[in-house]
Amino acid sequence: MVIPVHDINPLRRTPWVTYGLIAANVIVLLLTPGSQASVTGAAAQAQLCSQEAFYDHYAAIPHELVTDHPLPVVATGQPAPAPDTCYAGRPAYHKIPVLSVLFSMFLHAGWLHLLGNMLFLVIFGNNIEDRFGRVPYLLFYLFCGYVAAYGFAFANSSSLEPLIGASGAISGALGAYLVLYPRAKVWSLVPFLFFIPVIIPAWLVLGLWFVLQWVYSAGYAASGAGSVAYVAHVFGFLAGAIIGLFVRAASPPPQYTVHPRYRAVRP
């Protein structure tokens, strides 16, 4: 898989919503119990139990989304005597499953998880914000996140694992980018011996990304990336691509006043 680092696609305005989403994700990670452990790579049992309780409270859990009822037993945040186990009990809070999807979009398992998502958001989300407008883009982002979360939940209705991360919503931005700017050029790193920088059209970068997500979600290959919600990525991407097709059909691409070297790039 290639790693995008920058696209050659001009903007008409500063993407404040995209920057705001990135800032919000960073701030939320700093406030979560596991943020320090995600930097050092180690965590005490008490901290792990606290993080588990935090996710049970705020994160989207597929079984809760499907049934629209919170779990009757959750982690309390207190470590049990046995190694790597935590006490469980009835929740001391009232959880609304549909709102947990919104919270989950801003929760990440650690800094690597966050930075990987934010890289894709800042590269591809800014042009979608520029094309859609700030408020419609924010609504689009949240909508794709909901589609991704509920799509994953109905495909894994018995799962009790917390579903966290902005990747479902960001996948929607990737899908819209693919249909709106397929020929935009993207500087990418190709992991061949060393990371070789090359310029690749967006349709190839994002097309390969989507194919990999679908292959992993279908179980045709082992991802080696742990419990990644590939099905959510697929649902989010398709939702974004469909909306992008409607936008492309309803409005012509904007005209930019840019440096001549960029004028050969057509959306």
Boundaries of every domain in the chain:
3-262
Tens digits of per-residue pLDDT, 10-67?
998 999 999 999 999 999 999 887 665 554 444 577 788 888 899 999 999 999 999 9
- pLDDT for 256: 58
- pLDDT for 221: 57
Work out the pLDDT band at 103, boundaries 50, 70, 90: very high
Residue the block writes with tokens 């005490």: 44
Cβ–Cβ contacts within 10 Å for residue 194, how many? 8
Share of the chain above pLDDT 90, in %: 66
Task: Quote the tokens at residue 219.
Answer: 């179980």
- pLDDT for 43: 59
Q: 219-256 burial by CB neighbour count: b if 16+ within 10 A, else e?
A: eeeeeeeeebbbbbbbbbbbbbbebbeebbeeeeeeee
In a 3-state reduction of DSSP, which class is residue 165? coil
- pLDDT for 224: 47
Share of the chain above pLDDT 70, in %: 88
Computed over every residue of the chain, the mean pLDDT equals: 88
- pLDDT for 191: 80
In a 3-state reduction of DSSP, which class is residue 76? strand
Work out the pLDDT band at 262, boundaries 50, 70, 90: very low
Tens digits of per-residue pLDDT, 192-239?
767 888 999 999 999 999 999 999 888 765 544 447 889 999 999 999
- For residue 254, the 8-state DSSP code is P
- Residue 48: closest CA among 73, 74, 75: 75
Q: Given a cut of 50, is residue 260 above it in pLDDT? A: no
CA distance 8 to 56: 41
- pLDDT for 211: 94
The whole-number average pLDDT for the span 110-130 is: 95
pTM: 0.88
Residue of higher predicted confidence among 88 and 18: 18
- pLDDT for 35: 67
Q: Given a cut of 70, is residue 81 above it in pLDDT? A: yes
